[in-house]
Structure 1
Amino acid sequence: MSLTIKSCYAIRGLYEMYKLQNRIKDEENIKISISKIAESSGISQEFLAKIFAKLKKAEIVSSEKGKFGGFYFTKAPEEIKLSEIVEVLEEPLNSYDCISEGECENQKICPVEFVWQRVRKAIFNELSNITLKDVIECGHKKEALASENE
């Protein structure tokens, strides 16, 4: 069971999208292009586009095409739980047969299933308690500390 770089990049991309939107405060539903998010986050545009396509399918973000198009949030950051993001991208942490839906041939006699089920549940419980707003607040604090130390 593992979390991949996709989840990290998704959270980082959403954080950067939020920051970019807040620089343009006069409009509603501000749309940010994937190229701006990629540039701001330092993540490959192609990889980020694939991640954001999955986030769009899960209705965490939406997008519009065209000259003034781009991505925007479908929910407020305090409504977006990290567990939603991870579940969409990690599909859903089923690295072991005993966690995936009954695919293990030893499931009835194997004591290890209990371990991975508990670990998976603990991870998702913790991720359900953290919102994108929490990440944004943490990011703002870190950036403020970094600028103070310059």
Structure 2
Amino acid sequence: MSLTIKSCYALRGLYELYKLQNIQSQNEEKNYVSIFNISENTEIPNEFLAKIFSELKRAGIVDSGRGKFGGFNLTKNPEDVKLSEIVEALEVPLNSYDCVTKGTCTNQDACPADFVWKRVQKAIFDELSKITLKDIIEYGEQKGNVSPI
């Protein structure tokens, strides 16, 4: 049960998307930000970031557009995006224990540890639910517009 680099990259990518989206909205009508620009600014591999953003799209956190002015944009205000949503969209390992995901275990009678995984899962998501994308953005801005992660 662990968080992977995907979540870290997602937060960095979403932070950069927000920054670039705000710059663009001041200069023009374009709402979408190229995954290439996000990748280039964050030094996250383009193909990996594109896969992450595809998963975030399925979760309704970002939207995408095709064509010359295509790319990604945030579908919600940053204060409405909880980190628990982002992590839940990306991190399958957190759901790898049947006792956590299904409430049952193949070895329920003999397993002395199921309560541990349930408590750890709950603690992680309780904390992640207290933090929003807006918190990440504000922290990054305090740090001088460098990636907060």
TM-score (norm 1): 0.88
Asked if 1:18 corresponds to 2:2, the answer is no
Considering Cα pairs closer than 8 Å and 6+ residues apart, tell me whether 1 or 2 has the greater RCO. Answer: 2
Q: Partners in 2 of 1:67 and 1:55 — Cα distance?
A: 22
Q: Assess if the C-alpha contact under 8 Å between 2:56 and 2:89 holds in 1.
A: yes
Please report how far the alpha carbon of residue 96 of structure 1 lies from its aligned counterpart in structure 2 after TM superposition. Answer: 3.2
Q: Partners in 2 of 1:99 and 1:113 — Cα distance?
A: 8
What SS does structure 1 have at the residue aligned with 2:72?
strand
- Matched residue type, 2:72: F
Q: Which runs of 4+ in 1 moved over 4 A?
A: 26-29
Structure 1, unmatched stretches of 5+, are 146-150
When the two chains are superposed, the root-mean-square deviation of aligned CA atoms in Å is 1.9
Please report how far the alpha carbon of residue 144 of structure 1 lies from its aligned counterpart in structure 2 after TM superposition. Answer: 6.3
Partner of 1:139: 140
Q: Partners in 2 of 1:16 and 1:107 — Cα distance?
A: 44
Percent of paired sites with the same residue = 64
TM-score (norm 2): 0.89
What SS does structure 1 have at the residue aligned with 2:94?
coil
Q: Partners in 1 of 2:42 and 2:102 — Cα distance?
A: 36
Q: Assess if the C-alpha contact under 8 Å between 1:86 and 1:92 holds in 2.
A: no
- Matched residue type, 2:62: V
Partner of 1:122: 123
Q: Partners in 2 of 1:29 and 1:128 — Cα distance?
A: 31
Asked if 1:104 corresponds to 2:105, the answer is yes
Quick one: structure 1 residues 44 and 82, their matched pair in 2 at CA, closer, same or farther if it must change by over 3 Å?
same
Structure 2, unmatched stretches of 5+, are none
Partner of 1:66: 67
